[in-house]
Structure 1
Amino acid sequence: MESLSAEDLKLFVESVRQYFRVVTRQEPQITSAYLATGELQGHDYNGIVSFSGAFNGHVIVSMPGQLLKELLLLQGETDLSQGNLLDAVGEIANTLAGNARKTLGPALQISVPVRLHGSAGIQARVRKHPYAITLRWNHQPAVVCIDIERR
């Protein structure tokens, strides 16, 4: 399998920025974008979208509850239950995956988001060194893990 190009990876950084610009009218601070060499430390709320077809792998969005609550409140949502926070992180992962399809092509098949609660860490499942994007928005940290290879 072949790794994504630098241009392919930039689309994910831009997609993260665009998501926050649209939803919050405030761009996040991208604190780092790097190839991870070990387990990534995640946050309490995780959304995972899997890819198949022309690409194999996952996009994982990991955020703390407070960040998700602030995002929901900005969107006029008052239900801040754990279930709704999980739905929100799953929807963010789904949005980022959908944006990737625009660039990586219509042959990219995207799964329904899997939502997980717990901060045990993000396990890379496809590549030895997944691409990680860490960010801060409104003083809250988050991480997006791009664990994808071209078939």
Structure 2
Amino acid sequence: MVSLKESDLRLFIDSVRRYFEVTSRVAPEITSAFLGVGEVQGHEFNGIVKFSGPMNGQVTVSLPMRAVRELLLIQHETKLTEANLLDAVGEIANTLAGNARRNLGKDLDISVPTTVRGAHVAGQRARQHPYVITFRWNTYPGMVCVDLAQAA
């Protein structure tokens, strides 16, 4: 499978920045971007969107509980249940996937987001080494794992 271009990865970085700037008026600091080796270690709350069509794979957004809680409070949400926290991180993943679809092509199919609680970002890999973008927003760490490859 063909690798993503640098411009394709840049769109995910830009989407992360834009999401947090618009939602909280606080821009995240991108702390690193690298190829993941082995199991990618995430945070407590994970939103996952799968891609199919011209590209296959998934994008995972991973945040600690305190970051998701703060995002909900900024949005004036007072029900801080686990279900709402999971919905929130799923919505972030959905937003990033929608932005990617606009840039990568309308023929790209994206799934409804799924959510998982736990630090291990698992699943069948599209790439041997997925792209990992780490960031810090309002003192909290975060991660986006881009595991996409061009379909054969």
Q: Does 1:95 align with 2:95?
A: yes
Q: Does 1:122 align with 2:92?
A: no
Of residues 9-18 and 122-131 in structure 1, the stretch that sits farther from structure 2 once superposed is 122-131
Amino acid at match of 2:62: S
1:2-151 alignment, distance < 5 Å = 2-119=2-119, 121-123=120-122, 125-151=125-151
Distance in 2 (CA, whole Å) between partners of 1:45 and 1:63 is 5
Displacement of 1:110 in angstroms is: 0.4
How many residues align? The count is 150
1:72-131 residue CA offsets vs partner (Å, 9 max, x unmatched)? 000010010000000000000000000001110100100000111112x11362110000
Amino acid at match of 2:121: I
Amino acid at match of 2:144: V
RMSD between aligned alpha carbons?
0.9
**SS of match in other structure, 1:3:** coil
Q: Identity rate of aligned residues, in percent? A: 57
Displacement of 1:19 in angstroms is: 0.4
Distance in 1 (CA, whole Å) between partners of 2:53 and 2:105 is 10
Q: Which structure 2 residue ranges, 5 or more long, are not aligned?
A: none
**SS of match in other structure, 2:41:** coil
Q: TM-score, normalised by structure 2?
A: 0.96
Displacement of 1:38 in angstroms is: 2.1
Amino acid at match of 1:24: S
Distance in 1 (CA, whole Å) between partners of 2:140 and 2:107 is 35
